[in-house]
Amino acid sequence: MGKVVLVTGAARQLGGRLVRSLGRDARIDRVIAVDAVVPEHGLGGAEFVRADIRQPAIGRVLAEHGVDTVVHLDVTGTPLGAGGRTAVKETNVIGTMQLLGACQKSPTVRRLVVKSSTSVYGSAPRDPAIFTETTPPKSLPSGGFAKDAVEVEGYVRGFARRRPDIAVCVLRFANILGPDADSPLAEFLSLPVLPTVFGYDPRLQFVHEDDVIDVLLLALREPRRGTLNSGTFNIAGDGVLLLSQCSRRLGRPTLPVPLPAVTWVGSALRTVGVTDFSPEQIRLLTHGRVVSTEQMRRTLGFTPRYTTPETFADFARARGAGLVPPQTLARAVDRVGEALGAHRGGPVAVPNQSDAG
């Protein structure tokens, strides 16, 4: 592990947690926490530097502190403070360009870890059942955080070619959930009623925020025998959940919307603060996305502590009871299924009603 570690996005809860974890590691001399906003949480013994990574000043920070390891967490779909979506995109894309330019010129940087997202694969009706790290998307994301992540990864690949002496690890996280999750999907799942696309029930994967911290720490360490801490890796918990299962476990009823009207609903949700209900987010909630984690286990040597259902259960407990108790909602859906079956002359299978809790 590096002796001087710089972490971007330190004002966000994940960044703060990582900074505090690194500060407790005796093998690290110093932790430099960077953000344009002063954190509201503690950073342990880390040194906070208020700096905007969109500005060239980030190069001076690397040089003044002799940074040898950079963890770039300031790639996100939600704003922190004023600025909205425009500021988020500038930080994601222009900020990454500035940071990589500074790392390229630095004589001391030896390792770079970048937080990315499985949203780079997009979501389309003809997608493969499971994406691997080398699967090309059927269509590149056209907007929102997903497009930002694609651009960020493109810049990172170019950087890795120019500085082959620097170990580069890109972690493509599935949707991050947990008690403190602040992602666009977490905002959506916290609505009292969940708008869904009529006729679709997408498969979703989640990764627990605790596992996010664990895999980031692993990516910073010297690789164990038989593992490799550089390259691109999908990071997700085992298993999948359907969006209908998620709604029942939350006790939040769904509101099916015809596909042509979904864009209007997305605009309405943005007005109430769901910031990244972009066309790509809508596609995820239509077609879903599932990724392979074989390389995460075999090459990176990481096994998450939480499965996708366990991650969602922890998130649901933190969000509290929805409008309808999960058991009541499940029984109501069962009755609807039975009524439809009687009307059609046979039973209708409604999957996983018994697991609503």
- Whether 199 has a pLDDT exceeding 70, the answer reads yes
- Whether 128 has a pLDDT exceeding 80, the answer reads yes
What domain count does the chain have? 1
88 — pLDDT class (breaks 50, 70, 90): confident
Query: What's 301's domain CATH number?
Result: 3.40.50.720
Nearest Cα residue to 13 out of 40, 50, 44, 49: 40
Sign of torsion over alpha carbons 242, 246, 248, 254:
negative
Place of tokens 């009623």: 193
Cα–Cα dist 88/5, whole Å: 24
Flag whether 187 is in a domain.
no
Structural domain that includes position 25: 4-178+206-238+289-317
Flag whether 190 is in a domain.
no
pLDDT at 152: 97
Flag whether 135 is in a domain.
yes
Flag whether 223 is in a domain.
yes
* Pairing mode of beta strands 30-35, 4-8: parallel
Flag whether 18 is in a domain.
yes
Flag whether 11 is in a domain.
yes
β-strand partners of 233: 171
Flag whether 36 is in a domain.
yes
Flag whether 136 is in a domain.
yes
Place of tokens 């690290």: 28
pLDDT at 274: 55
Contact 209, 314 (CB under 8 A): no
The b-or-e profile of 307-325 (16+ CB within 10 A means b, else e) is bbbbbbebbbeebeebebe
> pTM of the full predicted structure?
0.87
- Whether 153 has a pLDDT exceeding 90, the answer reads yes
